[in-house]
């Protein structure tokens, strides 16, 4: 057997194995609970509540954060930055965690939107809903 044919067999077997191997981790956000309007209107530090669902084959670090978007963006666009977050240890398996994600307040934007993001072993998810802050709720 030539070196080329054994190499190609290795490549094909590796590709087949990878196609049937389950993902190492998966994460998604199923619910967001906005802080009280008074905290958000005055841009005071607050916790944004989120239910983070996850699946992982080994113990891992779940990263959660709050992303800020300016007024008029509706939680999308290229203008945004992170302002708060935390890391949580999770055990292997399918589970969920209700998390209070710290928002540091005092944004560079006079008002806008907050969106929760989560990452677990390379899998990233963003919440489908956002919280308004600053001039967006005054």
Q: Cα separations (Å) of 110 from 8, 71, 77, 119, 132?
A: 58, 8, 17, 28, 11
For residue 9, with 0-12 CB atoms within 10 Å meaning exposed, 13-18 middle and 19 or more buried, which class applies? exposed
Residue 67 pLDDT: 96
DSSP 128: S
pLDDT digits (tens, 9 = 90+) for 34-47: 998 888 988 889 99
Residue 62 pLDDT: 97
Residue 39 pLDDT: 83
DSSP 3: H
Distance (Å, whole) CA 84 – CA 109:
15
| Chain centroid offset of residue 136 CA | 23
Domain 23-134 has CATH 2.60.40: yes
Residue 2 pLDDT: 53
Task: Return the SS3 of 24.
Answer: coil
User: Which residues of the chain have a pLDDT value below 70?
Assistant: 1-25, 138
Average pLDDT, the chain: 85
Residue 6 pLDDT: 52
Share of the chain above pLDDT 70, in %: 81
């Amino acid at each position: 057997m030539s070196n080329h044919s054994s190499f190609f067999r290795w490549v094909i077997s590796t590709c087949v194995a990878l196609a049937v191997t389950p993902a190492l981790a998966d994460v998604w956000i199923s619910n967001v609970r906005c802080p009280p309007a008074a905290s958000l209107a005055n841009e005071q530090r607050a916790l944004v509540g989120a239910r983070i669902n996850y699946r992982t084959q080994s113990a891992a670090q779940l990263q959660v954060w709050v992303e800020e978007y300016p007024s008029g963006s509706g939680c999308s666009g290229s203008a945004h930055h992170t302002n708060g977050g935390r890391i949580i240890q999770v055990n292997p398996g399918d589970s969920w965690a209700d998390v209070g994600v710290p928002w540091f307040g005092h944004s560079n934007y006079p008002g806008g939107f907050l969106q929760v993001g989560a990452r677990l072993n390379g899998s990233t998810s963003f919440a489908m809903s956002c919280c308004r802050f600053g001039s967006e709720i005054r």
